[in-house]
């Protein structure tokens, strides 16, 4: 998606290449929010998966399985 707003040259004195500021458009802000939501959702799923694995390990240990046996079942 092309930037549609006019770039503002903000090149600092010590930069060897041009640096431009292009504030995000409303559409890009919305896109960014969607990406953030997607990332948060994925992260929550990862953490839920980790929590489920820990619960499963605890239940297996409660059944009398050794640490090695639990590890062999849940790699």
Partner 1 sequence: MIDFPANPTNGQVYGNWIWDSSITSWRNVNTDTGIGALNAMGLKNVVPGSIVVGSGSATVNGNGFVTFSNVTNLQLNNIFSSTYKSYRMIINITANSATTAIQGQMVAAGTRSTTGYNNVVTVGASDNTTATVSAINSTTFGMCEVHVSSNTNLGSAELIFTDPFEARPTKIPHVGTGSNSGGFVIRRNAFASHTVATSYDGFYINVATGTASGTVQVFGFTS
SS3 38: helix
Q: Which is nearer to partner 1, 42 or 69 (CB)?
A: 42
- With CB under 8 A as the contact rule, the residue among 4, 16, 62, 63 that binds partner 1 is 16
Q: Minimal distance in Å, beta carbon 51 to partner 1?
A: 8
- With CB under 8 A as the contact rule, the residue among 45, 58, 72, 73 that binds partner 1 is 45
Burial of 23-53, coded b for 16+ CB within 10 Å and e otherwise, reads eeeeeeeeeeeeeeeeeeeeeeeeeeeeeee
Task: Check residue 7 for interaction with partner 1 (CB under 8 A).
Answer: yes
């Amino acid at each position: 998606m092309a930037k549609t707003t006019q770039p503002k040259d903000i090149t600092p004195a010590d930069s060897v290449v041009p640096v431009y500021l292009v504030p995000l458009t409303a559409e890009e802000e919305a896109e960014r929010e969607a990406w953030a939501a997607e990332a948060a959702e994925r992260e929550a799923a990862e953490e839920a998966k980790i929590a489920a694995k820990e619960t499963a390990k605890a239940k297996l240990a409660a059944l009398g399985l050794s640490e090695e046996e639990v590890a062999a079942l849940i790699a």
